[in-house]
Amino acid sequence: MTNIKNSWAEPYKIKMVELLKMTTPAQRKKAMKDAGYNTFLLKSEDVYIDLLTDSGTSAMSDRQWAGMMLGDEAYAGSRNFYNLERVVKDVYGYKYLIPTHQGRGAENILSKILIKKGDIIPGNMYFTTTRLHQELAGGKFEDIIIDEAHDSESEFPFKGNVDMSKLERLIKKYGAEKIPYVSVATSVNMAGGQPISMKNLRELRALTKKHGIRVIHDMTRVAENAYFIQQREKGYEKKTIREIVKEINSYTDGATMSAKKDALVNIGGFLAVNDWDVFEEARNMVVVYEGLHTYGGLAGRDMEAMAIGIEESVSDEHIRARVGQVIYLGQKMIEYNVPIVKPIGGHGIFVDAKKFLPHISQDAFPAQTLAAEIYLDSGVRTMERGVVSAGRKANGDNYYPKLELVRFTIPRRVYTQAHMDVIAESAARVYERRDKIKGMKMIYEPKYLRFFQAKFEKLT
Ligand SMILES: *Cc1c(COP(=O)(O)O)cnc(C)c1O
């Protein structure tokens, strides 16, 4: 019986449900207009299936909820902090922990400590908050991801890889002393959740070691990256996700973490480092920006839920089902000929808006437009990852990223396969009437991270 599939299924059953509100086309039309055609400005109650982000939107387990009841809300030295510290050391392998309210809190502290004015921070593609904190600290981000990452057609299995020759050129040009660290992300978000290979991480470690440069890991989705290494990289087929995660981290000197993604909590993050000096400074600085170093802006119960979530996040069954669901949605879209970034990434499907709406120029915001159209069709909320998200350079010019994408991000353990069908069908319906869709103009633009709050109007 060789043709019987060995399907993944959710390694949990449902104990409680949250009812969803269905909307009419007229209601959605009004809601979208009121929101300035920015899906970030929609009210959640007007949304049917919410794929805006996988950040803080995961469903916690009964064990995590039980952990919430064990919160030790002492101002200093909460028991939950020590639990979290133990799990971070155990599962991730980093020595010292500073909790923060979420990922950007850790980025702020780390950037302030390590970056001096005029420094260069190479990274495998930018991330919005990460780059902004690097710039606010006086640094300049330089992209060193391989060219394949910018090509939505390339099926290279590790599109998150660092191009070592790009890094070497930067070191030669600026000198190692101008490069405080290399910022390396696993499951590169802006490239479509594309993984970096273990081989590449090993090479990065060797090169940076030679020049005395640190590697700081944006480990927001490290477990999802580990799954792709297990599936695609020779020598890792038999290793557990837990083992792979630990090996990835072993090639880096520290990490910033948004626990709202991989770690299955609704709020939380941390900075973790192996260097005592950096830790000491960070432990002091966290008091200014987040809170005492044994809570960093979190309640004790949040830290407990995070500690339990981290353990659950590196289970092989969990990750197989998690990524399996994303791949299921991607394959449905491919069946409907909807152009998506391939290979399918770990946390969502990225629709290629330049290919979907080739008649709309980047100045008329094709991805922003498409996200609005998907919502109007079905109440499914997605988000733009293109020219709006990329923002402006220091001189005021727009960044024009090669990738102009709409992200369908899948929250962990929240939606079912039937929801995935409904989502793919909506994308297919909008694709059928793509010729009739016109672009938009921006009518309000905030100074920082404009994609969150910008407003638009339809072009006629
Ligand atoms: C979400 C995210 C961050 C920032 O974390 P927050 O918890 O949202 O502050 C940083 N890096 C990546 C790759 C992310 O996805």
57 annotated active-site? no
What amino acid occupies position 293? H
* Mean pLDDT lowest among 9-18, 147-156, 218-227: 147-156
Q: What is the CATH number of the domain that holds 328?
A: 3.90.1150.10
* Tens-place pLDDT, residues 285-322: 999 999 999 999 999 999 999 999 999 999 999 999 99
Rounded to an integer, the average pLDDT of 176-181 is 98
> CA–CA separation, 370 vs 372, rounded Å?
5
11 inside domain: no
On whether the CB atoms of residues 94 and 248 are closer than 8 A, the answer is no
Confidence of residue 151 (pLDDT cuts 50, 70, 90): confident
Q: Quick one: CA torsion of 40, 46, 50, 53, rounded to 10 degrees?
A: 20
Is residue 309 domain-shared with residue 373, that is, in the same domain? no
Residue 2 Cα, ligand 1 centroid: separation in angstroms? Answer: 42
* Domain hosting residue 392, numbered range: 25-54+316-458
Q: Relative to the CA of 269, which ligand 1 atom is closest?
A: 7
218 annotated active-site? yes
On whether the CB atoms of residues 176 and 157 are closer than 8 A, the answer is no
**Ligand 1 lined by 185 (C-beta under 6 Å):** yes
Ligand 1 atom 3: the closest Cα is on which residue? 103
Is residue 67 domain-shared with residue 48, that is, in the same domain? no
Count up the domains in the chain and report the number: 2
Ligand 1 atom 10: the closest Cα is on which residue? 103
Picking from 278, 298, 313, the residue at the C-terminal end of a domain is 313
Is residue 249 domain-shared with residue 355, that is, in the same domain? no
154 inside domain: yes
**Ligand 1 lined by 104 (C-beta under 6 Å):** yes
Alpha carbon separation from 285 to 73, 77, 81, 257, 359 (Å, rounded): 22, 17, 18, 17, 50
Of 39, 128, 130, 252, which residue is the catalytic one? Answer: 128
- Picking from 131, 146, 345, 321, the residue whose alpha carbon sits closest to that of residue 232 is 345
Q: What is the pLDDT of residue 2?
A: 76
Picking from 313, 328, 358, the residue at the C-terminal end of a domain is 313
- Picking from 5, 3, 48, 19, the residue whose alpha carbon sits closest to that of residue 324 is 5
On whether the CB atoms of residues 177 and 214 are closer than 8 A, the answer is no
* Tens-place pLDDT, residues 24-59: 999 999 999 999 999 999 999 999 999 999 999 999
**Ligand 1 lined by 57 (C-beta under 6 Å):** no
Is residue 236 domain-shared with residue 296, that is, in the same domain? yes
Q: What is the pLDDT of residue 6?
A: 87
Is residue 189 domain-shared with residue 272, that is, in the same domain? yes
- Looking at the predicted structure, is the pLDDT value of residue 1 above 70? no
**Residue for token digits 């792709």?**
228
Describe the crossing of helices 316-335 and 300-313 by its angle, rounded to 10 degrees.
Answer: 70
5 inside domain: no
10 inside domain: no
Residue 7 Cα, ligand 1 centroid: separation in angstroms? Answer: 31
> CA–CA separation, 329 vs 335, rounded Å?
10
Long-range contacts of the stretch 358-363 (C-beta < 8 A, 24+):
359/435, 360/437, 360/438, 360/439, 361/439, 362/386, 362/387, 362/400, 362/404, 363/387, 363/439
pTM: 0.93
Is residue 275 domain-shared with residue 352, that is, in the same domain? no
451 annotated active-site? yes
DSSP run (H or E) holding 443: strand 440-444
Picking from 265, 295, 313, the residue at the C-terminal end of a domain is 313
**Ligand 1 lined by 257 (C-beta under 6 Å):** no
13 inside domain: no
Is residue 219 domain-shared with residue 120, that is, in the same domain? yes
18 inside domain: no
**Ligand 1 lined by 53 (C-beta under 6 Å):** no
Residue 212 Cα, ligand 1 centroid: separation in angstroms? Answer: 27
Q: Relative to the CA of 189, which ligand 1 atom is closest?
A: 13
Q: Which of 126, 261, 306 to mutate to test the pocket of ligand 1 (most atoms within 8 A of CB)?
A: 261
* Tens-place pLDDT, residues 234-286: 999 999 999 999 999 999 999 999 999 999 999 999 999 999 999 999 999 99
Long-range contacts of the stretch 129-136 (C-beta < 8 A, 24+):
129/103, 129/104, 129/449, 130/183, 130/185, 130/218, 130/256, 132/448, 132/449, 133/104, 133/107, 133/108, 134/107, 134/183, 135/394, 136/111
156 annotated active-site? no
Q: What is the pLDDT of residue 396?
A: 87
Confidence of residue 460 (pLDDT cuts 50, 70, 90): confident
Is residue 274 domain-shared with residue 343, that is, in the same domain? no
Is residue 229 domain-shared with residue 360, that is, in the same domain? no
Is residue 171 domain-shared with residue 213, that is, in the same domain? yes
- Looking at the predicted structure, is the pLDDT value of residue 394 above 90? no
**Ligand 1 lined by 28 (C-beta under 6 Å):** no
Q: What is the CATH number of the domain that holds 268?
A: 3.40.640.10
Q: What is the pLDDT of residue 42?
A: 97
14 inside domain: no
- Picking from 155, 162, 205, the residue whose alpha carbon sits closest to that of residue 186 is 162
382 inside domain: yes
On whether the CB atoms of residues 270 and 296 are closer than 8 A, the answer is yes
